[in-house]
Amino acid sequence: MSKIKLNVLGISYSQTQSGAYALVLAEEDGERRIPIIIGGFEAQAIAIQLEGLKPPRPLTHDLFLSFASSFGISIVEINIYKLEEGVFYSKLICDDGQKQMTVDARTSDAIALALRFRCSIYTTEDILSKSGIVIDIEPESKEDQPSASSQMFTEPSPGTRKSKDELRDFSLTELKNMLKDAVKNENYEKASDIRDEINRRSKKS
């Protein structure tokens, strides 16, 4: 099964869940993006590493890096290998110089560790086709494009997100148009919910 490389695009506040954030992963050689809802602690761990900040005391993921490195263990890659009922499943591919080992991990933890070990993040075409949001926007000049860090922790706009129940009242055409608008406005959590509703209807048809 071919692997598709992903990059961490940024983090934004959750539009509805207090203390939650939307982590956005971007297809390296394409325009699809995967929004993943994560907790505040994991968001902080990822944001600190993206910004190149060093906390006064090591966070849990920093401790994991130090511990593994002390015993000659490295993480060579992260694989997001399954998507089930909206939950992403990941595994760490570890190497101690003699053999490779696979360790199951939450995707948010896996991403935080990937940034620290400077290893690649991969997923499959199947997962991207199910969860990826296709970006169909005119490309901006480099001067106009925001950096990954500037996209992090963007305050939510009030009234920009429909509940999952409300989405069921819209037609498929309306949902597809709403999805384009959500992506254009970088409201990835809303886009994720709309995408899930479209996929739910596709399964029934």
Q: List Cα–Cα distances, 128 to 8, 46, 113, in angstroms.
A: 15, 22, 21
pLDDT at 154 over 70: no
Q: Work out the percent of the chain whose per-residue pLDDT is above 70.
A: 77
Per residue in 44-59, pLDDT (tens digit) is: 899 889 888 777 788 8
Beta carbons within 8 Å of 88's beta carbon, 6+ residues apart: 34, 36, 80, 82, 107, 127, 131
> Which residue would you say has higher pLDDT here, 194 or 111?
111
Spans of all domains in the chain = 3-154
- pLDDT (0 to 100) of residue 151: 43
Per residue in 165-187, pLDDT (tens digit) is: 788 888 888 888 888 787 666 56
Q: How far apart are CA 35 and CA 24, in angstroms?
A: 4
> Which residue would you say has higher pLDDT here, 59 or 154?
59
- pLDDT (0 to 100) of residue 51: 82
For 3-154, which CATH superfamily applies?
Answer: Bifunctional nuclease domain (3.10.690.10)
Q: Which amino acid is at 47?
A: A
Q: Which amino acid is at 170?
A: F
- pLDDT (0 to 100) of residue 157: 42
Q: How far apart are CA 93 and CA 7, in angstroms?
A: 17
Instruction: Tell me what the mean pLDDT of segment 67-76 comes to.
Output: 96
Which DSSP category does 96 fall into?
A: -
Q: What are phi and psi of 29, to 5 degrees?
A: -110, 40
- pLDDT (0 to 100) of residue 53: 79
Q: What is the pTM of this model?
A: 0.69
Work out the widest C-alpha separation in the chain, in whole angstroms: 56
Q: Sign of the C-alpha dihedral, residues 155, 158, 164, 169?
A: negative
Of 51, 91, 97, nearest to 72 (Cα)?
Answer: 97
pLDDT category of residue 119 using cuts at 50, 70 and 90: very high
